[in-house]
A and B are shown apart, each in its own frame.
Chain A
Amino acid sequence: MAMEATETRPLGKSIKRKEDPRLVRGQGRYLDDIMLPGMLYMALARSPYAHARIKGIRLDQAYQVLGVKAILTGADLEKMNLSWMPTLAGDRQMVLATGKVLFQYQEVAAVVAETRAAAEDAVQLIEVDYEPLTPVVDPFVALKAGAPLLREDRAQKDNHIFHWEVGDRKATDDALASSPVVVKEFIRMPRVHPAPVEPCGCIADYQKSTGKLTWYVTSQAPHAHRTVLALVSGLPEHMIHVISPDIGGGFGNKVPVYPGYVCSVVMSLQLGRPVKWVETRTENIATTNFARDYHMTAEIGATPDGVVMALKVATIADHGAFDAAADPSKFPAGLFSIVTGSYDFPVAFAEVDGVYTNKAPGGVAYRCSFRVTEASYLIERVINTLALRLNLDPAEIRRRNFIRPEQFPYQSPLGWTYDSGNYRATLNEALNLLDYEQMRKQQAERRAHGELVGIGLSTFTEIVGAGPSNTFDILGIKMFDSCEIRIHPTGKAIARLGTRHQGQGHETTFAQVIADELGLTTADVLIEEGDTDTAPYGLGTYASRSTPTAGGAAALAARRIRQKATQIAAHLLEVAPEDVEWNGEKFAAKGLQSRAVGMSEVALAAYTNLPEGMEPGLEATYYYDPPNLTFPNGAYVAMVSIDRGTGEVKVERFIAVDDCGTVINPMVVDGQVHGGLTEGFGIAFMQEIAYDEDGNNLAPNFMEYLVPTAVEAPHWETGRTVTPSPHHPIGAKGVGESPNVGSPAAFVNAVVDALSPYGVTNVEIPLFPWKVWNVLKEHGLTE
């Protein structure tokens, strides 16, 4: 059961979330709750075409609407040199279209009015003269010679964005050529959307009298956004105050900068009044950063016993109209090179080619540390194909290929140094919890009665926690993170971090880390994030990086406080500092545990009764640059049955055993896992941002883009193994994304397992009932 925040030594305990009383009572303060005096509202006019030349824009009708204050077009922005903005991926993106539009719903004009309704009315009256052009929707078509050129602004006159490769191509080709067994599979991860419940939005509030811009924004990375805004707008950075209020989910969608943000800032600068812009659901799903859209081919070479010899991967990455991915700058395909997964491949090679199409720009890392879901899905699917080929149990093929505990730190053939793991132990835990052998027996019995029953495994390795800063930066800004702690005279603390939670529970978990280091309770420590005027600089919350980076900073800042506190304690205990011992809750005189002082006495002394010559106060800041990433892993097992009549797949059981190193709060970790599994379920069975041949978005709302609820979601079972990270200050690894990364392959492997007796080795997600039914029909399995 969950415990109160007044527990001492809270690390590792299921402390009730401190943010929940506010959030569950509807007393959170989200962007759209904020109302400023004199605030104006902005709405955007968007293109109905996926590809069209703009012949003219007429605004006179729109200006007739009562309450309209200003209308902005690409031509206006061009004069300010702001019609294009840089993306985090080093590409550029149109803010408001000039020349032509490149995807349906692209931003064409911005209207600011006294009310949102008036702004929307005016948007409807903007007349744009479009000349439709041939849209390119399929990334493979986009790469063909003679395909229509989408990005006329670039020097390069084709639709190819980048080629990126890693590993040893020749050694991999040679190893494949000499492999007795080779399996090859084409695996597509369709375009999906993070779809946070709260869409994106901002309020730009520029005060002409002070020259200060206060920018309230749904941002997972407020400090980075402040810097980007300073660079793009030319405003001095100290005159930009970014406030990221309560955020209703991000999942990567709230990392990039969007055209609506830029327009609202420009409008506030021009009008000297606050300008609010909040997306509709359709705007969020159809224009802001999507995820995946990776089209991958993988080959595995192996011995007849199933020991892997080589992995080769070629991928086409559809980025839509602009490469607006939010990856670390040196990694155009993110951390896709984790694709060798949990397996000891002697050699490997992976290449990714980015492509433009007439679709919404992206793609972002949706609850995954930069293309890790794509990589994990691929390797976990293709290792399954290898098991089928060799008629090996999927657990057995994994055991034969796992990186062994004694191999850590493990050098992967694609360049990573895995910190720690015990993959066999994690898998065994999952199989034991389920009684895997019994499950296989039941499956055989049910199959004998004609049922379609399958069991699927996924034993993935994640890579999270960017930095270290020598490898990772975003637009040159190193990917460290930070924590500043102040202890008040009564022994209560406030801590501010450079991250920005969106539901992850930082207000509780970081308080637990700090409280545990300082002998306080979780209730004694107030966590604040998201205000750039008060919090230390950091790169934000995404890619499961908060605990590996800011969590490390929190522990180390607390230890800095403890260093000074030890001096003060010595003074209070009237012993030498080297004779003071930290017993986990108090400072005690060595050998005399009864003589001890706690943090509250020390804190009071820091302001009232200091040792001679000591600087008053008790606070510390730590900028933590992790020495390496952390590598959480997991073993997930799904059991499904398929309705021969309807093609519906029922997930009968699902267990997720995660190893995320030291666990700060088991309840919060379970909550993260449940949420991520539900997203992974949606990706496997329900979701795709599909386009028709004209480039029309076919799922621009929650009627068509299906988000699973508690009704659809299976019952989740969870378990844990604990292999601490050797380099993290408290051994924690980050866990938020593991369930999204690891689960899709488990679901799909289970469906394939159910159908494999009939020759099926691959099915394409999302597994809508009709798609499964088509496979059943093809194999004569329908009712």
Chain B
Amino acid sequence: MFPNAFEYYAPETLDEVYGLLEQYGDEAKILAGGQSLLPMMKLRLAAPSVLIDIGHLANLSSTTETAEGLTVGALMRHKAIETGHWQRYPLLGETAPWIADPLVRNRGTIGGALAHADPAADWGAALLALNASVEIESRIGTRRMTLEEFFIDLYTTALEPQEILTRVVIPAPKTGETFARYLKLERKVGDFAVVGVAIAVDLTSDGTIANAGIGMAAMSGVPLAAHQTTSILVGQHLTPALIKEASESACLEGDPQSDRRGSAEYKHSMARIFVERGLTQILQQWRSTQSA
């Protein structure tokens, strides 16, 4: 690796981070796993003059589960989430194994992935499906916003230069049991999604959809939440006919680009197929839990 020269800081407190961010502003990049940043620096596509390695900060690599929800520290590595077994949040364990490859999952962090804001990244889609928020801190204070507000554009978030993303907050499911699927088409292991679809559905005992979330990767310039489709689902019984309607709707919510991974038409179709397959699998799983 032959990046451009940079200064390296390894602060141990958030206060130190704030100071460095105030001092260097746009010149600085926060290193939080480095699985996207370092390859870009290696290719000299990114050339920050200052790297702030937040890997030594305490308290950002743990989770807190309460009745209200799950708070995930920004430095939680993908691997830790993959093996975390949060029963009320099955989408986390469904999604994490699809992220890149084991090497990346061992180093990469959830906060780093979100702050990088790649529209094809897996966490964006999954956490939108879970209606998650992020906590952002600076010397001035803490603010919280939904993930949808956080993603502004391609590789662009609502983070100001002096701010740092510290936590991800996932609201707890309210009623029923949560079922989840993450479906991803990738060209090979380690690849970003050609299309990815994350689905979380809370089903009551009579099969009514109490709550639903669908997030889509690589279907727009930002990770996308399929709101119209979830509104079709909520309050209804999950049936093959409803699944068909939802899948037709979901693919219309995206606006993918034609590229070497396939045409926009192809990606629209993949979103439709994945919503249909994901919901069908959930329906089958729910039926088998009912009969058991």
Contact = CB atoms under 8 A, between A and B. Distances in A.
Contacts of A774: 263, 266
A704 B260 contact: yes
A768 B191 CA distance: 14
A712 B261 CA distance: 17
A658 interface: no
B185 interface: yes
A782 B260 CA distance: 20
A712 B273 CA distance: 22
A708 B188 contact: yes
B260 A117 contact: no
Contacts of A563: none
Contacts of B189: 709, 711-712
Interface in A674-692: 686, 690
B158 to A, nearest CB: 27
A116 B1 CA distance: 10
Interface string B250-291: 000000000011110010011001000100000000000000
Contact of A712 (B185, B188, B262): B188
Contacts of A6: none
Interface in B1-31: 2-5
A773 B273 CA distance: 12
Interface in A694-753: 698, 701, 703-704, 706-709, 711-712
Contacts of B263: 770, 774
B86 to A, nearest CB: 26
Contact of A686 (B3, B185, B187): B187
Describe A's contact surface by its main secondary structure: loop
Interface string A644-688: 011110000000000000000000000000000000000000100
A645 B277 contact: yes
A774 B269 CA distance: 11
A280 B190 CA distance: 20
A182 B77 CA distance: 61
Contacts of A712: 188-189
A178 interface: no
B5 A646 contact: no
B44 A646 contact: no
A769 B185 contact: yes
A767 to B, nearest CB: 12
Nearest to A645: B273
A768 B262 CA distance: 9
B43 interface: yes
A282 B187 contact: no
A769 B262 contact: yes
Given A121-B4, A701-B43, A769-B262, A709 B188 contact: yes
A783 B188 contact: no
Contact of A773 (B43, B190, B191, B266): B266
Interface string A253-285: 000000000000000000000000000101000
Nearest to B42: A280
Interface in A105-129: 116-117, 120-121, 124
Contacts of B261: 770
Interface string A72-114: 0000000000000000000000000000000000000000000
A539 B5 CA distance: 44
A322 B194 CA distance: 35
A528 to B, nearest CB: 34
Most central of B3, B5, B194, B269 by chain A CB within 10 Å: B269
A120 B185 CA distance: 37
Contact of B188 (A124, A706, A770): A706
A45 to B, nearest CB: 13
Given A282-B43, A645-B273, A773-B269, A117 B185 contact: no
B188 A782 contact: no
Contacts of A782: 269
B44 A124 contact: yes
A768 B5 contact: no
Nearest to A41: B2
Interface string A323-345: 00000000000000000000000
B273 A783 contact: yes
A703 B262 CA distance: 16
A53 to B, nearest CB: 26
Interface in B164-195: 185, 187-191, 194
Contacts of A708: 188
Given A117-B2, A120-B2, A645-B273, A690 B260 contact: yes
Interface in A5-59: 43
Interface string A606-646: 00000000000000000000000000000000000000011
Contacts of B190: 709
Contact of B185 (A124, A648, A701): A648
B80 to A, nearest CB: 22
A486 B262 CA distance: 60
A707 B277 CA distance: 28
Contacts of B277: 645
Contact of B187 (A120, A280, A706): A706
A486 to B, nearest CB: 44
Contacts of A773: 262, 266, 269
Contacts of B188: 686, 706-709, 711-712
Interface in B196-246: none
A651 to B, nearest CB: 14
Contacts of A43: 2
A698 B260 contact: yes
Interface of A: 43, 116-117, 120-121, 124, 280, 282, 645-648, 686, 690, 698, 701, 703-704, 706-709, 711-712, 768-770, 773-774, 782-783
Interface of B: 2-5, 43-44, 185, 187-191, 194, 260-263, 266, 269-270, 273, 277
Query: 6 nearest interchain CB pairs?
Result: A770-B262, A645-B273, A711-B189, A120-B2, A770-B266, A706-B188
20 contacts: A117-B3, A120-B44, A121-B4, A121-B5, A124-B4, A124-B44, A645-B269, A645-B270, A647-B266, A686-B187, A686-B188, A690-B260, A704-B260, A706-B188, A706-B191, A709-B188, A709-B190, A768-B187, A782-B269, A783-B273
Given A768-B262, A769-B262, 8 more contacts: A116-B2, A121-B5, A648-B185, A706-B187, A709-B188, A711-B189, A770-B261, A774-B263
